Amino acid sequence: MTIFSDAPIIGVSTGSALPRRAWSNAELIAAKGLDSSDEWIKARTGIEQRYIVEDGETTFTLARDAVRQALERGGVDATEVGVLVVATCTPDLTFPSVAALVHGALGMPQACVALDVNAACSGFIHALAVARGLLATSDAGYAVVVGSETFSNLLDWNDRGTCVLFGDGAGALLLKKEPLLKKEPGAEGRGLLGFKLGADGACAGMLQSSAGVARGRTAGVVTMNGREVFKQAVRQMGSREDVSALLGEAGMELSDLDWLIPHQANERIIEAAAKALDFPMGKVISTVAHHANTSAASIPLALNHAVEKGMVKRGDSVVLQAFGAGFVWSGALVRW
């Protein structure tokens, strides 16, 4: 599905939240007794460390703190938010949603729509598309989209092929609907310009949890066909056809693109996808070395990092690309 819109919805500010403690590869190997090494992990994934939740830290608390920071940076009160969408596949509770918990904790209005989206590692872009649609077709002025995950709770620490890959964290993006007849200075041409979403449910078994509420009454652990996931992730995130379709509707080509922010699963996947697109790595935002794979939180964490560091600036064109369990994949064109 390809979605294009002239609705003037722009990104205002970002926020992030990470657990208190970062674990280096060496620390994780020693603590968990893993049959691995720092060199092995870095060579195959590019990961140097990851953050892991401790007592009192959950998907909800990370989401809450990331949303709060995005609102504070944007100068917007929680009572002004009309749409809240949380992307996660590691919720605190089966129900209610993480969004409902954040909504209550921050005192958002009863008229605010609050819901979770589960599209695994592609969740943030899917949630962004949902929020854009709700914001564009309602009387709300602001929306917040947050990706928040605590994947450490889904890991089998005896499976070195998966347990070293993931981390915990949250990233948020505050959106504003600009009045058609009264745009703020510099807002012209900015916003969420387009989305491209797809899926292949026949591949569900290649990356999934081993159980769930209806199968075993537990959350299960991550299981993955690493070779196949690698191949499919590169194929989808490195699709010139998909990226060109996004850019084409905005009258742009790949050479016009300022930044690419892919899902942060593995540095080798990121590099292979950039090579397939013939896109320079110097214009690819990568934080996987410090965050590892945080699933739905990876893209907003990387976006927040790039904005904080002054890399992504107002007016820059950015493509977000994600691939995750399902298989589901998504891309978004944003002019920041």
Instruction: Tell me the two tokens of residue 93.
Output: 């509770």
Give me the sign of the Cα torsion angle 310, 287, 264, 302.
Answer: negative
Three-class SS of 215-273? EECCCCCEEECHHHHHHHHHHHHCCHHHHHHHHHCCCCCHHHCCEEEECCCCHHHHHHH
Catalytic residue among 121, 126, 266, 291: 121
Options 25, 118, 266, 293, the catalytic residue: 293
In eight-state DSSP terms, residue 205 is: G
263 part of the active site: yes
Strand order, beta sheet including 168-177? 9-17, 168-177, 142-150, 81-87, 113-117
Return the structure tokens found at 59: 């998907």
Buried b (16+ CB within 10 A) or exposed e, 294-330: bbbbbbbbbbbbbbeeeebeeebbbbbbbbbbbbbbb
328 forms beta bridges with 199, 324
Active site annotation includes 293: yes
Do 323 and 194 meet the contact criterion of CB atoms below 8 Å apart?
Answer: no
Give the C-alpha separation, 35 to 33, whole Å: 7
Nearest to 221 by CA among 169, 158, 263, 265: 158
Of 103, 126, 263, 291, which one is the catalytic site residue? 263
- Active-site residue flag, 291: no
Taking residue 182's Cβ as centre, other Cβ atoms within 10 Å add up to 7
Rounded CA separation 176/222 (Å): 36
Q: What's 77's DSSP letter?
A: -
User: Which of 265, 262, 251 is CA-nearest to residue 318?
Assistant: 262
Structure tokens at 192: 């969420």
Kindly list the catalytic residues: 121, 263, 293
